[in-house]
Amino acid sequence: MTNSDERLFAMLIYLVSFFVPVIGPLIIWIIKRDDSDFIDFHGKEYFNFFISFTIYGFASGILILLIIGFLLVPAVGITGFILTIIAAVKSYNGEKYRIPLVIRFIK
């Protein structure tokens, strides 16, 4: 069972990412990952999410040359936004949420 501080910091990893996508979550994760397995889980999950959706964004950008990228770029952005909000809510509720469509680079 997680306490309220762990849930708050896990949620902040996702919320801070709207303003500073790399530095903010990285600072929270590095400072708190040794204190809590829950925060460590969500830090890894966020960075796997970030790396995966960066790859999807670049691929969509390249596919603009084939016209389909014009549909994929907004779809990737909207999906990333929605999944970040869902992950923030789930982490605040104390759930270990696995974000769909994510490649697990960091284990």
Entry pTM? 0.90
What are 37-66's pLDDT values in tens digits? 999 999 999 999 999 999 999 999 999 999
Dump pLDDT digits (tens) for 74-85: 999 999 999 999
58: left (phi over 0), alpha (psi -120 to 50) or beta: alpha
Q: What is the DSSP code string of 43-102? A: HHHHHHHHHHHHHHHHHHHHGGGGSTHHHHHHHHHHHHHHHHHHHHHHHHTT-----TT-
Tell me, what's the pLDDT at 92?
A: 95
pLDDT at 1 over 90: no
